[in-house]
């Protein structure tokens, strides 16, 4: 099953970039999302060089909006 989601939140903690097995890079980060009265934490990963460069330049608390495609 797959779903399309658009999430908006604030960066929680520092992004972490690691190498992949095939020689690429992936950046992991956590978003703090307010969903009505609930506070959620979303674990996210980005493989795109452009998206990774943007995320790596942000500080904790920066607002981020992103989508997940199926």
Q: Is the pLDDT of residue 63 over 90?
A: yes
Longest dimension (CA), the chain: 42
Per-residue pLDDT tens over the stretch 16-56: 999 999 999 999 999 999 999 999 999 988 888 888 888 88
Q: What is the pTM of this model?
A: 0.79
What does the pLDDT read at residue 51? Answer: 86
pLDDT-based confidence at residue 69 (cuts at 50, 70, 90): low
Strands (DSSP E) contained in the chain are 5-19, 25-35, 38-46, 63-68
The answer for residues whose C-beta is within 8 angstroms of residue 48's C-beta and 6 or more apart is: none
Cα 33 to Cα 9: distance, rounded to the nearest angstrom: 4
pLDDT-based confidence at residue 1 (cuts at 50, 70, 90): low
């Amino acid at each position: 099953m797959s779903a399309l989601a658009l999430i908006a939140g604030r960066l929680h903690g520092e992004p972490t970039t690691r190498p992949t097995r095939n020689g690429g890079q992936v950046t992991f980060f956590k978003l703090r999302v307010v969903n009505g009265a609930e506070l959620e934490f979303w674990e996210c990963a980005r493989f795109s060089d452009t998206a990774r460069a943007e995320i790596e330049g942000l500080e904790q608390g920066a607002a981020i909006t992103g989508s997940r495609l199926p």
